[in-house]
Structure 1
């Protein structure tokens, strides 16, 4: 079967992560995605790997994830002629993606009203930090601020109520927000199929952060008191905790049906004495003495490697997991088998990239291609969208296209 979005024309005029990542998902399923960037500087996300405290590599890993399988067009939307070119392209486009603020869209000639007046069938997809309306509509937002901090997630996952909040990892909020924007675009396309009319679809980093923290936020909405996690040595439940093993790796323990699984847990642990210990023999006592049980288990877990413990617990049908380090993904066979990592010949070292997070059984995704250089496909894109060679040459001379 052909790719579901084959022939779909997408203009990705967003920058940084979430909007462009949504366009990557469309490209994975066959869409022709044009990455639109300003001449000269390009998308500033190209420069992210140069920032301190981020992975260093000869390959631009950030740009690979944000722009793979796209064609590159360098077009100056601050120039009236650039806006004219965009409007000519919009007449043939199916989807337009932006993460500019509402006022910036007006200045750049790409507001919803402007573009849908040209093409009423257009799916106009906008992503903001804090929403399209209200006093914070123009406020710039990143995943560290709008998604991670504002939603309560940074506060909720701190391991010590008196310690500092946890810092978000690179793009950890942007990537799931991209899936939400993709879902909105696909929903808009379905509605267009039914009605013949284009749709304006939106999402925000704020909405996605609150969605990620939805269970706890709903508890607060229902008047619940939200407890802080206590330091692990003061845990309220020793069987939902982390334990350091002999190889200095941590094991994540999550025994949800504790009343049923305590005997199997003790068996896997090889510590029958704990079953007889009056401090731990009953559920209520284990919870009352959880801190003491953590101390006992610390002394046991440090005797074996994390992988050994994982095998022992899984043999008893108990859910545990080794806390992976990011670099463990390079050799994770299951990630390849499950198509979480897929071949990408243009990516050096492993020749792999991270795939979009879902599969459709009857479809084979497009093989990932290299992310484009700045304006790499400018001429070809503009010719495909109906401009003439003379038009393109004139735009190049004026610096509107590069």
Structure 2
């Protein structure tokens, strides 16, 4: 087993933790010093050197290589996007679907995943939602009975934003391989927090934004496209998408063959500062180790669950390790509890099932204890005031 993560050392990279108790990494993470430094360096280069674009473009490829290493992919299987939603939409329009083709999804998954596929109903594509309780995780058996000859895609999140379920993508990937079905995965909540090995998971396409586990500001996303899926073709086209872009910048209508790598899905200019920061943040993440981050947030989850059990507060999502991640939702009335925690300088998110707590590598056991103490304090006050059900009010 690897050496436990030293959260107190990691915490020094995140100045925001000195001001607030930050328990909202599933929304976005605080900016670490390394990312701020990378962005500052980029601004200085643009300001003082008028933008050394060849240097910046080389950094794009450095970032691509680092993302590929993080995902156990080849660099030419990685494309850059704006966010998860763009990546899922690229996938939905690239998969060769016909009228009558069926896409299977989980009911209640992130709406921006669903809308990308629902938009294809105008072309005769059918979208079928499979129900799953919040305290259970999806596996091959979740979808197996819903597959028929028309099923072409299964699309779902690796980790859900609303209950923290960690679905068994590897098991679903084996099912898709047997049935010749595309597997499209939203890894927004898992990448950078849990190990994500695209080969082991068996995914066809994976999309994620970078402002959560990858620690950079919004506006940059990654897209993995399995190397041998040449039938997946882009809807949008630009010079950078072509195998033979015209050197004289004159369009060639007779040569519009697209690249064979994932770059065929890129178009227009890159988010250069974002990619500069992404390369730096991945270096930081790898210096810690994703497996250590996973173990750390699971340990914090163990401590949280133990404290909640003592207070009689259940979880919305699963309790077992391996089925949960860094996201924990407490079925508490949102308005009262989020306001109370905010007044006590605790950052959390309202969620459909209650109050969402989400950990990062910078959180400590003391953070969990402080949260439990605040919850217990408010419960005692409610009971003392005569409210027998103060614990959930």
Query: Which TM-score applies when normalising by structure 1?
Result: 0.24
**Higher Rg:** 1
- Which of the pair has the greater relative contact order for Cα pairs under 8 Å at 6+ separation? 2
